[in-house]
């Protein structure tokens, strides 16, 4: 089953980021971090995404977790440094 990229993903991600910014909320933009529009094909090719192109494989979820952790720690360290 081959499907076209969902053209609304970037629009929805942008809306979430704008809302978070306007309301001073933290947000992690997984859409952009994982490659944005069309990136599902790359993740699928490397066996990090299931054929439904929605759910990750175990390895894909592990990468997702690593990316989130690195982003979280980087931002936390920046926050701590800004308080000195």
- Counting the structural domains of the chain, the total is 1
Tell whether 66 is covered by a domain: yes
Judge contact between 47 and 59, C-beta under 8 A: yes
Per-residue pLDDT tens digits for 29-82: 999 999 988 898 999 999 999 999 889 999 999 999 999 999 999 999 999 999
Tell whether 55 is covered by a domain: yes
Q: pLDDT at position 2, please?
A: 58
Q: pLDDT at position 38, please?
A: 85
Measured on CA atoms in the order 72, 78, 79, 84, is the torsion positive or negative? positive
What is the Cα–Cα distance from 23 to 72, expressed in whole angstroms? 19
What is the Cα–Cα distance from 81 to 75, expressed in whole angstroms? 10
Tell whether 2 is covered by a domain: no
Integer CA distances (angstroms), 34 to 8, 18, 65, 81, 82, in order: 16, 19, 12, 27, 28
User: What domain range is 20 assigned to?
Assistant: 9-82
Tell whether 1 is covered by a domain: no
């Amino acid at each position: 089953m081959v499907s076209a990229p969902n053209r609304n993903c970037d629009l929805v991600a942008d809306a979430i980021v704008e809302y978070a910014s306007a309301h001073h909320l933290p947000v992690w933009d997984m859409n952009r971090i994982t490659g944005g529009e069309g990136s599902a094909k790359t993740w699928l090719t490397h066996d990090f995404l299931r054929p439904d192109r929605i759910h990750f494989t175990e390895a894909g979820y592990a990468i997702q977790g690593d990316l989130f952790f690195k982003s979280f720690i980087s931002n936390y360290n920046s926050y701590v440094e800004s308080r000195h």
